[in-house]
A and B are shown apart, each in its own frame.
Chain A
Amino acid sequence: MNHQDALQQMAVERYLLGELNGPSLESFEEHLFECPACAADVKAGVTFIDAARAELKIPQRVTASYVKRPPKWTSWFTSPWILGPALAACLFLLAFQTFVLQPRMKLEVARAQTPAVLNPLVLANAGARGDSIPEIVAPEHGSFVISLDIPAATGDFSGYLCSLSAADGSLLWQTTVSPEQARDALLINMPTDKTKEGLNTLLIQGLPARDSSSGTLEDLARYRFRVRIQK
């Protein structure tokens, strides 16, 4: 047997598996003693088999991997210590959305979509000294409409500043009105939560024009009204 024969016949593997006998065994062994390549192959094979036999004695070797590979950087995410609380938080969020947020939103949408007749609080003729103070009953989570006139101004204003203050003087809400909007009666949709129950004052001030020599706001009107919040 020469080396080529040995390779073709897989003689090394047959020898290791004990499949050679008689003349074929004798022939291969003679070759084995003169061929360093086959000798090295057989030695490696025997070493592998002996070590594999020891390794295969370990029960989990048959089905499971033994080498502990380094954990991936994302492995913290799959840790039960993280996954458990995260799942609980997700469930809590889902329950909160389903049983609290969604019903509330549905109610608010329904309220918003419900047609309603608006009775504006007319301030157009109010504000004069000695006049009675009008009162509006406003829904707690809704809004009401104020109707007022911007007094005909003597000066040249670039716009008007409307400021709503509470009885204690604290500023509750502010908006600006252009001269074009101020020409007609002004309707302001006022969110109830921007007001305070009780006396409220709406101050109208003229914003000086850019080329005006005066840089200060000019008080034009002060309207007072009471708000009663309907709960």
Chain B
Amino acid sequence: MNFVTFDASYVSKLRAGDVPTEQHFITYFSELILLKLRPRLRLQEQIEDVKQETFSRTLSLIRSDGGLRHAERLGPLVNSICNNVLMEQYRVSGRIEALEDETAERLVEPRPNALSMVISDDTRNLVRRVLDDLNDRDRSLLRAVFLEERDKDEVCTELGVDRDYLRVLLHRAKGSFRAMYSKRVDAKKYH
């Protein structure tokens, strides 16, 4: 979880075609674009096309005469260009659907995707430990929501909790996972 700062120096390196910076840019935003697109596009090829087109247009804009005036707006620029490319993709594929009407309901779709492919055994072990620390009710809640994809309101009612509880449960589980992950990464650094 490396935090980066998109400042003038970063943008000017991108403009100059600095290879490490460009690689970082591609890697960092690839993950975000995948997260954004996977509930919206069914085919992996479509996701890949939109992603490539987004990078191509963003880098062209940055390297154009006008360039990017506000470096801190690099992220929103990528998002904006991605939205435009996605709209074009919808038109091409005949699925005319306004982006603002799109919901992220399918974010948790069960099919394998590019991001889930990179989950290592190490990560699964950490997640296993987080799940082991939960009580049966919380595990059942996560199972019903993420694995069985049942209606969240219905599941919450069944288990006697509300939607806020579900959010907090996810927040805590995610927090535990991040803490363990960071600890593991630090341990690897020092060994």
Contact = CB atoms under 8 A, between A and B. Distances in A.
A67 B123 CA distance: 14
A56 interface: yes
B166 A54 contact: no
Contact of A34 (B73, B107, B145): B73
Interface string B44-77: 0000000000000000000000000000111110
A217 interface: no
Contacts of B142: 52, 56
Chain B contact surface mostly: helix
Contact of B181 (A32, A44, A61): A44
A48 interface: yes
Nearest to A67: B132
A61 B139 contact: yes
Chain B contact-residue range equals 35 or more
Contacts of B123: 47, 51
Contact of A55 (B76, B115, B128): B128
Chain A: interface size category = 35 or more
Contact of B3 (A14, A36, A54): A36
B128 A44 contact: no
Contacts, number: 152
Interface in A1-49: 10, 12-23, 25-26, 29-30, 32-37, 39-49
B189 interface: no
A33 B76 contact: yes
Interface string B153-191: 000000000010011101101100110010000000000
Interface of A: 10, 12-23, 25-26, 29-30, 32-37, 39-57, 61-63, 65-67
